[in-house]
Amino acid sequence: MEKDNVNQIKTIRTDYSKFELTKSHVDENPLTQFEIWLGEAIQSNPNTANCMTLATVSVDEMPTTRIVLLRDLSFNGLTFFTNYESRKAKEINHNPKACVNFFWPELERQVRVEGILQFLPQQESDEYFNSRPFESKVGAWVSKQSKAIENRNELDSKYHELLQFYSGKHVPRPANWGGYVLIPTLFEFWQGRPNRLHDRIQYVKEASINKWKIERISP
């Protein structure tokens, strides 16, 4: 039965026809354009609109990806939070270039953002950490993200021990947990169109003049 389902992948076809995208209708600032699309994505599906696939590059130049949640658009970039000792963090320490991708199927849209990752100022990481539910804060102390562990029980027993330890107390932000900001150098806005002739509008940062060059690229 599962195999029958999988066999369908050769024939599943979706034609995209909901919207179009032109150079004359996008904002000249890609962050503003991104905010417009993100707002529409949140309206169409608030559960997944801020999920982004984050690509980094390992020391031996292997690309790696994982989903993280976009949490802010201040500091002229895209902020997410993670563990500063995770696999991704080690890769970012080695090479701060990164790329994120959003897919908003209800709107037949995707967005690619390339850029350079910087640490979020500690005060902002503290503020965000303090806004999280008690259980998530404790969870941040429990997880040695990306490291091998013996079994599930190791996690659960540490979690319950720390739940008791912090009960009724302030949970501080672990030093190895905080935010990164992706400072964009390239945006691509992709709008699905009929017959695979999609609209793609790309912004490339021209660093020497601090301006964005906007062009249509072929599907």
Ligand X SMILES: Cc1cc2nc3c(=O)[nH]c(=O)nc-3n(C[C@H](O)[C@H](O)[C@H](O)COP(=O)(O)O)c2cc1C
The token duo for 208 is 């020497």
- HSE of 9 in the Cβ direction (CA atoms, 13 Å)? 4
Task: Tokens for 204, please give them.
Answer: 């490339």
Strand partners, 99: 55, 114
Query: Interface with ligand X includes 120 (CB under 6 A)?
Result: no
What the block records as the tokens of 161 is: 């021990």
User: Rounded to whole angstroms, what are the CA distances from 91 to 63, 116, 123, 214?
Assistant: 10, 12, 24, 30
Q: Does 205 bind ligand X (CB under 6 A)?
A: no
Residue 67 interacts with ligand X (CB under 6 A): yes or no: yes
Give min distance, CB of 81 to ligand X, in A: 6
Applying CB under 6 A, does 95 fall inside the site for ligand X? Answer: no
Of the pair 38, 68, the CB lying nearest ligand X is at 68
When the beta carbons of 44 and 202 are compared against ligand X, the nearer one is: 44
For residue 149, state whether it binds ligand X (rule: CB under 6 A).
no
Q: Which residues pair with 111 in a beta bridge?
A: 102, 189
User: By CB under 6 A, which span of 67-75, 98-106, 156-164, 167-175 interacts with ligand X?
Assistant: 67-75
Give the interface with ligand X as residue ranges (CB under 6 A): 51, 64, 66-69, 80-83, 86-88, 145-146
Active-site residue list: 196
